[in-house]
Amino acid sequence: MKKRVYLDYSATTPLKQEVLDAMLPHFNASFGNPSSIYTYGRESKNAIDNARDIIAKSINAKSDEIFFTGGGSESDNWAIKGIAYGNKHKGKHIITSKIEHHAVLHTCEYLEKEGFEVTYLKVDEYGLVNLQELKEAIRSDTILISIMFANNEIGTIQPIKEIAEIANSKQVYFHTDAVQAFGNIKIDVKELGIDLMSISAHKIYGPKGTGALYIKKGVKLHQLIHGGAQEKKRRAGTENVPGIVGFAKAAELAHENFDEHIKHLTSLRDKLIAGLKEKIEYIHLNGHPTKRLPGNVNFSIEFIEGESLLLSLDMVGIACSSGSACTSGSLDPSHVLMSIGLTHELAHGSLRLTIGDFTTEEDIEYVINQLPPIVEKLRQMSPLYEKVKGGN
């Protein structure tokens, strides 16, 4: 079989075998509705309670502060719309950043149409928000600050504790989208001072369509999904029992082997960065050199179109992503890359390689060997590159 190397762990991850094993009985043998009072139901209810305890413990929250959802996007929507509608009597101003995931940005844009005002903080060349600007953006009618923990494209990690301190000192709620951070950075919600936090299972070797929202006790927010009395009457719908069980198993595994996992990712990441820098001219690392996710590599490669690069890499079995327009599903290249000040050309020529637990040294060497000749071949078609080379 042709060699295949998956380097898109920030898009999604494969389910771990232990996760699948934990989930399987809940599809048939133990299929009861958790709301039912007979044994079938109680088994499911116990499985959810146990999962809630595990997720809570993994972020130092209390079990009754964890609410299961249909994934990271739902958690973001619930946190932001929930706080907005639940606190609009206090004010209608929200602060976020320009580099959030679309689940946050598009929710904020929707709320603008609903009469809320949103400040989108800019970021520096590394993707960091400026704390002084954040302070200055807070007004008497600000009800929420939503800043992501770590960015899904460039991997930059924000100063979450400092942001939370600023929010708390002004009595403004603080939500963070920690979908990329969870499982890759140790998170203690109490120590960090976080009020609401979104997490998702499929980014940590769990199933798709399952997530959670951490809601600190006492935080007032409206409900998003109305219906039955599930999740303490705050999120209706028969629980996704297999998904929830799988999510907890994935979180447990992530935290069991945490240091090992981080060491593995970091060493492969640094090897990939060094290898590509050495072999390819005119490339630039996007994101922060040190404050970045352990598995994130993002380069802009000059004189290259991201989509052509992805197609060529796919032909040699390498799966990764780009912030170029064609792949972002719109006419414009990635809003994240534009926000850190890249030109259209550099944003179009971006390549994101994200490493995970199943990535091997051999995979990294394969990419370091395959990518440079592909880049060279594509560059041969660029008149601009010819000119630059000719000038040298």
Ligand X SMILES: *Cc1c(COP(=O)(O)O)cnc(C)c1O
Task: Write out the binding residues.
Answer: 72-73, 152, 180, 200-202, 238, 326
Burial class (CB in 10 A: 0-12, 13-18, 19+), 380: exposed
Find residue 199's DSSP bridge partners: 212
Structure tokens given for 56? 């809570």
200 binds ligand X (CB under 6 A): yes
158 binds ligand X (CB under 6 A): no
Q: What values do phi and psi take at 117, rounded to 5?
A: -110, 135
Q: Is the Cβ of residue 200 or residue 230 nearer to ligand X in the bound state?
A: 200
Angle (CA) 342 345 346, round 5°: 45
How many CB atoms neighbour CB 217 within 10 A?
Answer: 8
Which residue among 44, 87, 96, 152 contacts ligand X (CB under 6 A)? 152
Binding footprint of ligand X, residue count (CB under 6 A): 15
Residues at the binding site for pyridoxal 5'-phosphate are: 72-73, 152, 180, 200-202, 238
243 binds ligand X (CB under 6 A): no
Long-range contacts of the stretch 215-220 (C-beta < 8 A, 24+): 215/65, 215/67, 215/79, 216/61, 216/65, 216/189, 217/62, 217/64, 217/65, 219/83, 219/173, 219/195, 220/83, 220/86, 220/87
Looking at beta carbons, which residue is closest to ligand X? Answer: 72
Q: Which stretch binds ligand X (CB under 6 A): 68-76, 87-95, 119-127, 164-172?
A: 68-76
203 binds ligand X (CB under 6 A): yes
Max distance between CA atoms of the chain, in angstroms, equals 79
177 binds ligand X (CB under 6 A): yes
Shortest distance, position 72 Cβ to ligand X, whole Å: 2
Structure tokens given for 146? 């939503």
Which residue among 34, 71, 193, 246 contacts ligand X (CB under 6 A)? 71
Q: Is the Cβ of residue 32 or residue 207 nearer to ligand X in the bound state?
A: 207
Q: Is the Cβ of residue 105 or residue 276 nearer to ligand X in the bound state?
A: 105
Which residue among 211, 242, 349, 356 contacts ligand X (CB under 6 A)? 211
Q: Which stretch binds ligand X (CB under 6 A): 42-50, 199-207, 305-313, 321-329?
A: 199-207
Shortest distance, position 161 Cβ to ligand X, whole Å: 19
CA 253 – CA 205 distance, rounded (Å): 9
Shortest distance, position 384 Cβ to ligand X, whole Å: 33
101 binds ligand X (CB under 6 A): yes
Find residue 129's DSSP bridge partners: 123
CA 26 – CA 44 distance, rounded (Å): 8
Q: Is the Cβ of residue 43 or residue 74 nearer to ligand X in the bound state?
A: 74
- Please report, for residues 61, 101, 169, 186, 193, the alpha-carbon distance to residue 162 in angstroms, rounded to integers and kept in the order given: 19, 21, 11, 16, 9
H-assigned helices in 222-284: 230-233, 241-256, 258-279
Which residues ranging from 314 to 373 are in contact with ligand X (CB under 6 A)?
A: none
Catalogue the active-site residues. Answer: 326
Residues binding ligand X (CB under 6 A): 71-73, 76, 101, 103, 148, 152, 177, 179-180, 200, 202-203, 211
